[in-house]
Every structure is written in structure tokens, then in C-alpha cells.
Chains A and B, each alone.
Chain A
Amino acid sequence: MNNPYLPYPVRIAEIRVETEDKNLRTFKFEFLNPEDEGKFAYLPGQFAELSVPGQGEIPIGIASSPSEKGFVLFTVNRVGQVSSYMHNMKAGDVMGIRGPLGHPYPLDKLKGRNLVIIAGGFAVTTLRSTITYLLQPEIRPDYGKITFIYGARTPGLLLYKDEWMAWEKRDDIDVFVTIDREVPNWGYRVGFVPAVTKEVCPPPENTSALICGPPVMIKFTQPVLEEAGYQAENIIMSLENRMKCGLGICGRCNVGPEYVCKDGPVFTLAQLNRLPKEY
């Protein structure tokens, strides 16, 4: 019988330091048993429990796209016991991943629509997955205009630099990258995400917004979108709560009757407006 608690064994193929403060590292995992890759079939917006034997597990959004074969990517912030331990692991080490968990962004229902994708700080991970997925030649024609707004405090805290720079050169996605304060030799925008959103977000007609970022960014971006005329049904967010099982059983990540792990982490603002703000 399938045991959803049992992680798939993986080997760390590569570790990339993402930010200047070295607090974020991207782990590239390869499955020890190649057949596990097929079992780990995921879509953008889902997450997994990263499992370090003897240390514990942490729920982390999947940063790679299902279109990237042979590996999976996770960007991990150094916060607690497991993530700190992972930051001291090396390429070649064996650990586990368990998932995919949660529901993906409802991209199948958004076909034919314009998308504005708004990310703040290191919450960009599952949106990197989303954009990489959407930009595949066979997928891209299914969607309208795609706008990507991404902010961080400083240039050194922006993740996936090579990738968003490459996206910027394309003509099928509009990329707006911003930092909080002016620094020398910075060729992009300066200002907070809500202000940039106000300036560049497309009209709400036939458009959905995907937002992932720190609470303060969401707090100030949400009213900007609402003022621009976005309906709560078309504002799609991803929640985080403390989790253990990831299966809707262990009981701690609930927001009202919904479990963030099993019923989320993706919710529309319309859904969240009917739920307690316990996240």
C-alpha cells in the first residue's frame, strides 16, 4: 500500500547559493530510484516535505517546473533545525522528498486569460515554477498576456537572476523587477511591489492575478488590485502555515475548516474572505 509518510530518497545533485546574505540556497535533487520521478508528478503551486533523516521535515514549495525533467528544485531559507542542517549538507548527500502535496495554481481553469504574477522576496519559488511552465512553446499559446512583477529589498536578495533576465528579453512576457531603495548601477525599477503593481498591472478584464509574498506585501497589494477592479475570485494566493503531515491529518495548519496542506495552499481571495485569518 502507498505510504504517503514515506519520502522518496533523493541525492543532492547541486546546491546554489541564491542570495548575498547566503540565507537562501537552491537544492537540485535527483531521485535515487528513477521510477520515483514519475510518481512525483506535480504541477506549479504544489509543495513537498523535504525530509532529512534524523532531523525532520519542512514543507517547501516546488521551484522547478514539471517541464524540467530529471530533477526537482527547492529554494530553502535558513530558519530552523532542518533548514539550517540542509544549509550544511553537500552535493552527493542523500535525503528524502515527500509529495507532491497540496493543490496547484488552477492554471487549467485560467486558459485563455491574461495573467499578472506578483512575487515578493523568496516567495517567488512556486511562481518561478509557474512561469517556466507557462513559457513552454506548447503551453504559452493557451494564455493571453503575461505580466510578472517581482520585488525584493536589494538586488542581492533577488532569486533566479539568470532566469528573470532571460524572461526579460522575451516578447511574450512583461517583466518588472524592483528593489526597495536606489543602489548604484541598478538598471531596473525602484519602489515597493504595490506601487509598481499600481503602475503596470493590466486592466482586470479577462485577467487573473497570482500573488505570493510576505504578509506586508500582500496587505498593500491586495487593495491596489481591488481598486483596479479585480474581483476577489480572480485574485489567487498561496498560504503558508506550520505543517507536519501535509495530508490533512495532523491537524495544525487549518484555517477554519480548510487545511492549508490538503485543501490549499492555493486559495482565491474570495475563499479567504469567508475564512478566519488564522495564517
Chain B
Amino acid sequence: MTEYIVKQNALADFFKSLASGRRLLTPRGTGDKCKLGETPPDQVTLEYTNTHLSPKSLLFPQTERLMAFHNERDKPNGYVYQSLGDNGEPTVVFGIRPCDARGISISNKVFQNDRFTDPYWKGKIDQTVFVGLACDAPSPQCFCAAMGGSPFGESGLDALAFRQGGDLGLKTLTDKGAELIKAAGAQEANLADEIKKLEATAIEAQGVKADYKPIDDLDLMDLFKDPHWVATAENCLNCGVCTFFCPTCHCFDIQDEASERGGVRMRNWDTCMSWLFTVHGTGHNPRPTKTERVRQRFMHKLKYIPLKQDGVRGCTGCGRCVAMCPVNIDIRSVALKMTQTAPSPA
């Protein structure tokens, strides 16, 4: 962990160096047009709130071809699936927000879990260096601090950048990040106190000060059985837009597509809001109505993931689901309702 500074007049060279020999992806555009894209080094901007979509598709594309087969029986490997590879390439992502980086680190523990490693995810993440950009001006929908993150959060990042007047301050967090930043000619500087000050100001600027800690201490089954879920789910259309935008929603479906000469097996983003998501072959469905499905989503974010990931919540407070939900279901008010669950007598 070393801090660096890049003076305003050296920024162009800095980004040029970041982009040498690899893709440089940065947020471009504004509002709902803001998205991560390959950016020429001289066009990198720091003027954006956040990307419209979460960055998850970088490592987990919405549709991904996993493997393919041919159906010529007489030739070798007829009807035998062969992997199509991970399609990873050397990449620097500059400017993702700490909430989204935290989302990637949460999903990373799912895609590389205690028993299995997803090679398609690993192939991409191993070749990517994430340099985040701290938030000095939170948007009205932001609540990362209330969820346990920070506008200067470091989880999931190789280095964290922040605006220091017209200059760019940097803090390296991993060897991968240190190597990149050093090679890009940034100058060492002692900025630890400065970072602390900026972080405190940015957290203070966030509107949401709620304390969701009681959820961590409540029993799983008490939270699950609480009667509020019926009312909480009442407005839900099960449209799945929350899962589409969520940086930590990682569920997918696997589908085969056959053609005349063979076929491919692909995976596509899926959503727990769908009835089909869990229905058994027999027709039995463990989550038959929207009440169970809405409960599943919030329990997953706020109880199941913390239980499996040392207390880290599955919601990063990016606020996308709050902004996008067509019926104004707000994870902040759902979390508050959950904190009010009555514990069952021991």
C-alpha cells in the first residue's frame, strides 16, 4: 500500500502507459448513456457519477458461449463438447466505483468458491487490473456506507484513484496494482491523511445513515418467517430489473442451442424473480409465488451472503435497483423492515 500522485499535466501520459499492451476500459458518456468502454488514453474523463449498468458483464457476459460440438459421427470428437475458452484478454479497468468493485469481490467468492473454480470467470479476472475511482460527490441514490462499504472502499480493487484538486491521487492495494501504477510513472507521495479526510467528507455527504446491523444478529428463520414479506412483495411485478442491474446478482441459466452441424452450450443471465427459475420437473415449485421470490432476493443479499462471506453484505449500496424498480421497491426500506423482525422466544 503506497500512495502516488499524478499531476494534471502528466495525466495523458499516465493513461497512455496504462493502455500500453492491453485494453483500457473506462466509463464514458453521461447519465443512462454512461458505460464502460474501450477508451483512447487521451479521452479518459473523470466526470461521471457511475455507469448505468454494473460492470459485471466484463467478467460474466450476459450471454457467453461455453462449449461447442460437431455432429459428424465419423470424425474425431463427434458429439463431444469442446471448451470455447475464457476469452480473457489483458485489460485495465480504470474508474469503476468502489461499490461495483466490492460487487466483483463478492461474486468472485461465488465463481471461485470453496469447491469449484469457474474457468470462464477466472480467465477474465486474472487478466484484469481494476483501478477504482473514489466518489467525492455521492449521487442521491448512493448508500454504500450504510451497507458496510465506503466511497473510498478498497475491496475488489488493485488500486484506488481519487481526485486531488486537478491531480490524480492513487493508492495501490495489490501487487498487480503496484506494478501497473509504478510502471505508469506515478510519483510516490504521502497521502494517507488526505485520503482519510476525503473519505470522511464523502461518507458524511451520503444521505442514508440507517443501521442494518440488527439483521446480522437476527436468526435466519425468524427473518424468513416474518409476516412482512407478503406486504413487501405485494407491488412486485417480478420483472427482474433489479437482478439485471445488481452488481452482485450472478445467477445464470445454461442452455444448449443445436444447429444442423452441431451446437453450442451457453449461459445467460437469469433471475430469481422468474417462476421458471426453480420449478421442478414434476411441476412442484419451492418458490411458487412472488412473495417467496422477493423474500429470496432480499434474504440472499442481506442474510445468506453475509452468513457465507464473513458478514459482508451482498448489497453494495450502488442504488441501481432503487432507481430502476418500476414500482419503487427500495432495498433500504426492506432492510429496515428486516431489522424490525421480532426474534422468536429462545
Which A residues lie at the B interface, using CB under 8 A?
1-7, 9, 32, 51-57, 77, 79-80, 83, 93-96, 215, 240-242, 244-245, 247-257, 262, 274-279
Q: Do A56 and B115 form a contact, CB below 8 Å, given A79-B281, A94-B79?
A: no
Q: Which residues of A contact B236 (CB under 8 A)?
A: none
Contacts of B279 in A (CB 8 A): 242
Closest CB of chain B to A258's CB: distance in Å? Answer: 9
Chain B 221-235 near chain A by CB (<8 Å), digits 1 or 0: 100100000000000
B254 and A248: CB pair below 8 A? no
Q: Is the interface of B mostly helix, strand, loop or mixed?
A: mixed
Q: In the complex, which residues of chain A have a beta carbon less than 8 angstroms from the beta carbon of B175?
A: none
Q: A54 near B262 (CB under 8 angstroms)?
A: yes
A57: nearest residue on chain B (CB-CB)? B254
Q: B250 to chain A: which residues have CB within 8 Å? A: 249, 251
B263 to chain A, nearest CB (A): 4
Contacts of B203 in A (CB 8 A): none
User: Is B78 interfacial (CB 8 A cutoff)?
Assistant: yes
With A51-B81, A53-B256 as contacts: A252 and B115 at CB distance below 8 Å: no
Known contacts A251-B251, A251-B272; decide if A279 and B69 are in contact (CB<8 Å). Answer: no
Instruction: Report whether A53 and B263 are in contact in the complex, using a CB–CB cutoff of 8 Å.
Output: yes
B116 contacts A278, C-beta separation under 8 Å? no
> Given the complex, which residues of A lie within 8 Å of B305, measured CB to CB?
257
Most buried by B among A2, A3, A53, A279: A53
- For B309, the closest partner residue in chain A by CB is A257
**A80-B281 in contact (CB<8A):** yes
Output the residue of A251, A256, A262 with the most chain B CB within 10 A. A251
- Chain B residues with CB below 8 A from A32, complex form: 80
Q: In this complex, what residue of B is CB-closest to A259?
A: B113
Contact residue range for chain B? 35 or more
Check A250 against B116 for contact (C-beta < 8 Å).
Answer: no
- The reply to whether A94 and B78 form a contact with Cβ atoms under 8 Å apart is yes
Tell whether, in the assembled complex, residue A55 and residue B256 are in contact, meaning their CB atoms are under 8 Å apart: yes
Residue on A nearest B295 in the bound complex, by CB: A276
Contacts of A95 on B, CB cut-off 8 Å? 79
Could you tell me if B282 and A79 are in contact, using CB atoms closer than 8 angstroms? yes
Q: Is B258 interfacial (CB 8 A cutoff)?
A: yes
Whether B270 pairs with A54 at a CB distance below 8 angstroms is: no
Residue of B nearest to A82 (CB): B256
- Known contacts: A95-B79, A257-B307, A274-B221. The answer to whether A54 contacts B258 by CB under 8 A is yes
- Number of A-B residue pairs having CB atoms within 8 Å of each other in the complex: 146
B249-274 vs A, CB cutoff 8 Å, 1 = contact: the mask equals 01111111110001101010010100
- Known contacts A2-B119, A54-B263, A55-B258; is-contact A279 B83 (Cβ 8 Å): no
Contacts of B116 in A (CB 8 A): 4, 247-249, 262
Asked if B251 contacts A6 (CB within 8 A), the reply is: no
Grouping DSSP codes into helix (H, G, I), strand (E, B) and loop, the A interface class, with mixed when no group exceeds half, is loop
CB pair B262 A274 closer than 8 Å: no
- Would you call B280 and A276 a contact (CB within 8 A)? no
Report which of A6, A249, A252, A279 forms a contact with B111, defined as CB distance below 8 A.
A249
Give the residue of A1, A6, A250 whose beta carbon is less than 8 angstroms from that of B270. A250
Contact assessment for A247 and B115 in the assembled complex, using a CB-CB cutoff below 8 Å: yes
Q: Which residue of B lies closest to A255 (CB)?
A: B286
Q: Does the CB pair A7–B81 fall under 8 Å?
A: yes
Known contacts A53-B263, A250-B251; is-contact A256 B66 (Cβ 8 Å): no
Q: Which residue of A lies closest to B252 (CB)?
A: A250
Which B residues, 289 to 309, have Cβ-Cβ distances below 8 Å to chain A? 292, 296, 299-300, 303-305, 307-308
Given pairs A53-B265, A244-B252, A249-B111, 17 additional interface contacts (CB within 8 A): A3-B83, A5-B66, A6-B67, A9-B81, A51-B81, A53-B69, A53-B81, A53-B256, A53-B262, A54-B258, A55-B256, A94-B79, A241-B286, A244-B254, A247-B113, A252-B251, A276-B224
25 residue pairs A–B, Cβ–Cβ below 8 Å: A4-B117, A5-B66, A53-B80, A53-B265, A54-B69, A54-B256, A54-B262, A56-B255, A79-B281, A95-B79, A96-B80, A96-B81, A215-B284, A247-B113, A248-B110, A248-B116, A249-B113, A249-B116, A250-B253, A250-B254, A251-B110, A252-B277, A262-B115, A276-B224, A278-B286
Q: How far is the CB of B10 from the nearest CB of chain A, in Å?
A: 39
Closest chain A CB from B294 CB (angstroms): 13
For B65-105 the 0/1 string (1 means CB < 8 A from A) is 01101010000011111110000000000000000000000
Residues of B contacting A262 with CB < 8 Å? 113, 115-116
Report how far A52 CA is from B79 CA in the complex, Å: 8
Top 6 A-B residue pairs of the complex, sorted by shortest distance between their CB atoms: A251-B251, A54-B258, A79-B281, A257-B304, A54-B263, A247-B116
B67 touches A279 (CB 8 A): no
Decide: B278 and A276 in contact? CB cutoff 8 A: no
Cβ of B79 and Cβ of A245 under 8 Å apart?
A: no
- Report chain B residues within 8 Å CB of A1: 117, 119, 122-123
A93: nearest chain-B partner, CB-CB: B79
